[in-house]
């Protein structure tokens, strides 16, 4: 076992292990009322009215008629209503809340509330686009002169979050403020959502973060919906209210990973050189756009993955369907398009009758190459050493030969991938505008605040360490607590792999400034604004320029065996290498590596979620299986140092990167094991059987 020389004890370790960490559901508030969702039973219908039973004293029904200012949840697109009004767009959309002191009574009453509907034609497939984007690089008119064209289509399925703590929110009134404690990722998103729906000023709302039991993107936007609903209720009822989902409600009605369909064509000249590629990515956004346009952007920008093609035509659509909206989930669109490209380039090699790895290496991206959005990969790219190291760790070259024999029922696959860190383009400087406050008291005790939530990634430990090491003072002289919007300035959401690269960099800068002006025995305070690297130029409308401030890179190797009787795949080994700039804390980083890959493998072959007539068939953990300790083999990970100029201590982002390569590595291994090409995931036994019984 590895020794972690670079790691420090995680600040929240002891409280979590001892069961002392207070999650939202652990907060004692005996007089709180319960809020139960009354949900639409229709996928698409006019809501002509709502029949509410006579309610006993202290029981309330809250719905669109109670909206104070705006019936909209403040998510990137302002199209998701707090409560359905006159129309429902998916099964499970909230038409109202029953609120009262006894939970069972509330549940009982909620069943008696009846929506009066007039059916409309629902749409469940990807045909109605509500966001379209496209861009090109080079000269795509050359495609028509191609001597050969090769095209394929790939699909990926839904994925459920299964953070282990379901959604939970507690709201109460205190000191003329609405106070929210919730399982969340972005305190200021919730804060804004409440201010917007109620039309109140910022000082009227306070959001405090308790311990959070996992998030992965699923608590980025959904809690804003819950908060807007509860806020509407609390101004009327003036009692503390809890909204806690059980696992079934969480699986059935909260946001999921976007299913996708990606079509790729490659155009070759007479000598089989690739003239260029054309890619279309379609994602199923569900009933409301929410953040789907940004997910689509990321999917498109990442679509050429780690390859440079001279000419590129990329387009994509997010489609409106009458299903639960899809939203943020680790990777944010790029796992879908990268899955497609990784398989496609291997299949293309087969079509051109050249060695798979040789073709990939021929088009491998290099430092200073032009990106698909006509920006530049400025920072040194060390993909080749990453690939070599991963091959060596996994004994790839020997195994790939060995398993190519007919009937091997075993295969090995290698994926390479990148992840852009931070918000797209100039989003960090123009939209987020993070500000970090750091202060010191007379005794030299330093306190700093960020709005970053630690839902397991260890950022409370890492960010603190950045400040401690920069100031060069003892650890117990630095105080860094969980976000509380009364104290904290917004350093932006805990999303987009931006925490370490952006907020970490900001924390280091703030600490350097404090150090420079440090005067013993004095109170001092600094507010440090984020200033992005000036070379980043991005035009969102045309999708041209530098899409991200920096990129992290990785290679995954997965080995798979297949049982020819049950058609079940088993993951036999996983080896990974990463370039995350510089790993500030190796143990925390390896935790991200293992956890991200485990989730990705779940998505690749175990986790199947399908909707039938707009209703999800999988409603509980009994029928939606995530990996258990028995499903995964030991995992080995190596990190290669490649310090990033603009990150704190050279660090880039890592949280999402580790999700991106698992599925394509798995699928490539599976292909070798069964000697059939894979185009769709999850690769369930049914799918594997279908492939094996089918002549290619």
Interacting residues toward other proteins by CB under 8 A: 1, 4, 7, 9-10, 12-23, 25-26, 28, 161-166, 211-216, 246-247, 455-458, 587-588, 590-591, 594-599, 620-622, 626-630, 632, 634-635
Query: Based on CB atoms, which residue is closest to ligand FES, 7 or 229?
Result: 7
Q: CB 289 → other proteins: shortest distance, Å? A: 27
Question: From CA 144, how far away is CA 291, in angstroms rounded?
Answer: 35
Instruction: Output Rg (C-alpha) for the chain, integer angstroms.
Output: 25
Q: Which does 212 bind (CB under 5 to 8 A by kind): other proteins, ligand FES, none?
A: other proteins
Q: CB 651 → ligand FES: shortest distance, Å? A: 22
Question: From CA 344, how far away is CA 80, in angstroms rounded?
Answer: 36
Query: Based on CB atoms, which residue is closest to ligand FES, 456 or 493?
Result: 456
Partner residues linked to 133 by β-bridges: 316
Q: Which does 517 bind (CB under 5 to 8 A by kind): other proteins, ligand FES, none?
A: none
Q: Which does 166 bind (CB under 5 to 8 A by kind): ligand FES, other proteins, none?
A: other proteins
Cα atoms in the 13 Å half-sphere on the side-chain side of 169: 28
Question: From CA 635, how far away is CA 148, in angstroms rounded?
Answer: 41
- Name the burial class of residue 382, with classes exposed (0-12), middle (13-18) and buried (19+) by CB atoms within 10 angstroms of its CB: middle
Question: From CA 651, how far away is CA 631, in angstroms rounded?
Answer: 32
Q: Which does 541 bind (CB under 5 to 8 A by kind): ligand FES, other proteins, none?
A: none
Query: Based on CB atoms, which residue is closest to other proteins, 4 or 535?
Result: 4
Torsion-angle region of residue 543: left (phi > 0), alpha (psi -120 to 50) or beta? left
* Ramachandran angles phi, psi of 693, nearest 5°: -95, 10
Query: Based on CB atoms, which residue is closest to other proteins, 21 or 382?
Result: 21
Q: CB 58 → other proteins: shortest distance, Å? A: 20
Q: Which does 440 bind (CB under 5 to 8 A by kind): other proteins, ligand FES, none?
A: none
Query: Based on CB atoms, which residue is closest to other proteins, 20 or 376?
Result: 20
Query: Based on CB atoms, which residue is closest to other proteins, 266 or 583?
Result: 583
Neighbours of 442 (CB within 10 A): 10
Reduced to 3 states (helix: H, G, I; strand: E, B; else coil), residue 575 is strand
Query: Based on CB atoms, which residue is closest to ligand FES, 629 or 693?
Result: 629
Q: CB 456 → ligand FES: shortest distance, Å? A: 5
Cα atoms in the 13 Å half-sphere on the side-chain side of 120: 18
Query: Based on CB atoms, which residue is closest to ligand FES, 10 or 347?
Result: 10
Partner residues linked to 579 by β-bridges: 553
Query: Based on CB atoms, which residue is closest to other proteins, 254 or 457?
Result: 457
Q: CB 216 → ligand FES: shortest distance, Å? A: 10
Q: CB 455 → ligand FES: shortest distance, Å? A: 8
Q: CB 595 → ligand FES: shortest distance, Å? A: 8
Reduced to 3 states (helix: H, G, I; strand: E, B; else coil), residue 380 is coil
Say what the alpha-carbon torsion angle 611, 615, 621, 626 is, to the nearest 10 degrees: 20
Q: Which does 202 bind (CB under 5 to 8 A by kind): other proteins, ligand FES, none?
A: none
Q: Which does 356 bind (CB under 5 to 8 A by kind): other proteins, ligand FES, none?
A: none
Question: From CA 561, how far away is CA 689, in angstroms rounded?
Answer: 14
Query: Based on CB atoms, which residue is closest to ligand FES, 164 or 431?
Result: 164
Q: CB 539 → other proteins: shortest distance, Å? A: 37
Tokens 């117990």 locate to: 476
Question: From CA 519, how far away is CA 515, in angstroms rounded?
Answer: 9
Partner residues linked to 562 by β-bridges: 569
Question: From CA 568, how far away is CA 631, in angstroms rounded?
Answer: 11
Residues that bind ligand FES (CB under 6 A): 164, 214, 456
Q: Which does 19 bind (CB under 5 to 8 A by kind): other proteins, ligand FES, none?
A: other proteins
Q: CB 13 → other proteins: shortest distance, Å? A: 5
State in Å, rounded, how far the first CA of the chain is from the last one.
Answer: 44
The distance of Cα 126 from the centroid of its chain, to the nearest Å, equals 22
Q: Which does 604 bind (CB under 5 to 8 A by kind): ligand FES, other proteins, none?
A: none
Closest CA to 73 of 89, 62, 84: 84
Q: CB 163 → ligand FES: shortest distance, Å? A: 7
**Tokens of residue 510, six digits:** 């703030």
Q: Which does 632 bind (CB under 5 to 8 A by kind): other proteins, ligand FES, none?
A: other proteins
Q: Which does 28 bind (CB under 5 to 8 A by kind): other proteins, ligand FES, none?
A: other proteins
Residues 569, 560 contacting (CB under 8 angstroms)? yes
Reduced to 3 states (helix: H, G, I; strand: E, B; else coil), residue 594 is helix
Q: Which does 651 bind (CB under 5 to 8 A by kind): other proteins, ligand FES, none?
A: none
Buried b (16+ CB within 10 A) or exposed e, 121-140: ebbeebeeebbebebbbbeb
Query: Based on CB atoms, which residue is closest to ligand FES, 53 or 214?
Result: 214
Q: CB 367 → other proteins: shortest distance, Å? A: 31
Q: Which does 13 bind (CB under 5 to 8 A by kind): other proteins, ligand FES, none?
A: other proteins
Query: Based on CB atoms, which residue is closest to other proteins, 27 or 489?
Result: 27
Query: Based on CB atoms, which residue is closest to ligand FES, 23 or 518?
Result: 23
Tokens 């920008």 locate to: 301
Q: CB 248 → other proteins: shortest distance, Å? A: 8
Q: Which does 596 bind (CB under 5 to 8 A by kind): ligand FES, other proteins, none?
A: other proteins
Question: From CA 268, how far away is CA 377, in angstroms rounded?
Answer: 25
**Tokens of residue 692, six digits:** 């094996």
Question: From CA 607, how far away is CA 39, in angstroms rounded?
Answer: 25
Query: Based on CB atoms, which residue is closest to ligand FES, 138 or 214?
Result: 214
DSSP, res 75: S
Q: CB 629 → ligand FES: shortest distance, Å? A: 11
Residues 206, 188 contacting (CB under 8 angstroms)? no
Q: Which does 392 bind (CB under 5 to 8 A by kind): ligand FES, other proteins, none?
A: none
Q: CB 165 → other proteins: shortest distance, Å? A: 5
Query: Angle CA(690)–CA(126)–CA(88) in degrees, nearest 5?
Result: 120
Query: Based on CB atoms, which residue is closest to ligand FES, 325 or 456?
Result: 456
Q: CB 7 → other proteins: shortest distance, Å? A: 8
Pairing label, strands 569-579, 635-639: parallel
* Ramachandran angles phi, psi of 416, nearest 5°: -125, 150
- Residue number of the CB closest to ligand FES reads 164
């Amino acid at each position: 076992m590895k020794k972690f020389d670079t790691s420090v004890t995680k600040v929240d370790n002891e409280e979590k292990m001892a069961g002392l960490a207070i999650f939202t559901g652990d907060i004692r508030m005996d007089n709180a009322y319960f809020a139960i969702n009354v949900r639409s039973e229709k996928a698409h219908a006019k809501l002509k009215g709502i029949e509410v039973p006579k309610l006993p004293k202290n029981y309330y029904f809250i719905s669109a008629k109670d909206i104070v200012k705006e019936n909209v949840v403040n998510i990137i697109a302002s199209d998701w209503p707090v409560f359905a009004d006159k129309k429902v767009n998916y099964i499970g959309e909230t038409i109202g809340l029953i609120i009262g002191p006894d939970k069972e009574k509330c549940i009982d009453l909620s069943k008696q509330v009846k929506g009066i509907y007039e059916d409309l034609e629902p749409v469940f497939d990807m045909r109605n686009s509500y966001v379209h984007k496209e861009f090109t690089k080079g000269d795509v008119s050359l495609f028509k002169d191609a001597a050969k064209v090769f095209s394929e289509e790939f699909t990926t399925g839904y994925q459920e979050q299964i953070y282990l703590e379901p959604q939970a929110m507690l709201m109460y009134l205190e000191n003329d403020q609405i106070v929210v404690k919730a399982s969340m990722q972005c305190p200021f998103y919730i804060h804004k959502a409440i201010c917007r729906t109620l039309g109140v000023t910022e000082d009227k709302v306070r959001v405090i973060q308790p311990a959070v039991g996992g998030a992965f993107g699923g608590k980025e936007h959904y809690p804003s919906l819950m908060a807007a609903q509860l806020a509407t209720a609390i101004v009327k009822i003036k009692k503390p209210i809890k909204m806690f989902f059980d696992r079934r409600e969480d699986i059935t009605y909260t946001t999921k990973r976007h299913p996708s369909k990606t079509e790729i064509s490659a155009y070759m000249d007479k000598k089989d050189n690739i003239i260029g590629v054309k890619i279309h990515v379609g994602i199923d956004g569900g009933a409301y756009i929410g953040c789907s346009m940004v997910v689509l952007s990321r999917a498109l920008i990442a679509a050429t993955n780690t390859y440079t093609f001279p000419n590129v035509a990329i387009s994509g659509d997010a489609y409106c369907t009458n299903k639960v909206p899809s939203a943020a989930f680790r990777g944010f669109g790029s796992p879908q398009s990268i899955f497609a490209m990784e398989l496609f380039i291997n299949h293309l090699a087969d079509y051109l009758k050249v060695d798979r790895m040789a073709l990939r290496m021929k088009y491998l991206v290099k430092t200073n190459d032009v990106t698909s959005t006509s920006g530049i990969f400025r920072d040194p790219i060390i993909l080749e050493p990453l690939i070599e190291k991963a091959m060596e760790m996994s004994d790839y070259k020997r195994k790939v030969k060995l398993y190519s024999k007919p009937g091997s029922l075993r295969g090995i696959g290698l994926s390479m991938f990148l992840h852009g860190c931070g918000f797209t383009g100039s989003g960090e400087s123009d939209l987020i505008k993070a500000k970090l406050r750091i202060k010191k008291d007379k005794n030299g005790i330093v306190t700093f605040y960020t709005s970053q939530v630690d839902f397991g990634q260890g950022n409370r430990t890492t960010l603190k360490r950045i400040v401690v090491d920069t100031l060069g003072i003892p650890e117990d002289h630095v105080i860094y607590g969980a976000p509380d919007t009364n104290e904290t300035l917004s350093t932006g959401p805990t999303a987009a792999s931006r925490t370490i690269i952006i907020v970490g960099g900001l924390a280091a800068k703030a600490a350097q400034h404090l150090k420079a002006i440090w005067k013993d025995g004095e109170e001092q305070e600094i507010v440090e604004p984020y200033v992005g690297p000036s070379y980043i130029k991005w035009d969102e409308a045309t999708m041209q320029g530098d899409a991200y401030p920096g990129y992290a890179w990785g290679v995954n190797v997965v080995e798979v065996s297949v049982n020819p009787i049950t058609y079940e795949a088993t993951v036999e080994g996983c080896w990974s290498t990463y370039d995350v700039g510089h790993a500030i804390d190796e143990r925390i980083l390896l935790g991200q590596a293992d956890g991200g890959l485990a989730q990705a493998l779940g998505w690749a072959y175990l986790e199947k979620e399908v909707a039938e007539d707009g209703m999800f068939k999988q409603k509980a953990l009994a029928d939606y299986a995530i990996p258990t300790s028995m499903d995964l083999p030991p995992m080995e990970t190596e990190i290669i140092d490649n310090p990033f100029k603009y990150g704190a201590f050279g660090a880039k982002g890592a949280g999402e990167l580790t999700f991106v390569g698992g599925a394509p590595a798995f699928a490539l291994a599976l292909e070798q094991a069964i000697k059939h090409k894979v185009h769709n995931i999850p690769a369930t036994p049914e799918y594997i059987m279908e492939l094996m019984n089918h002549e290619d």
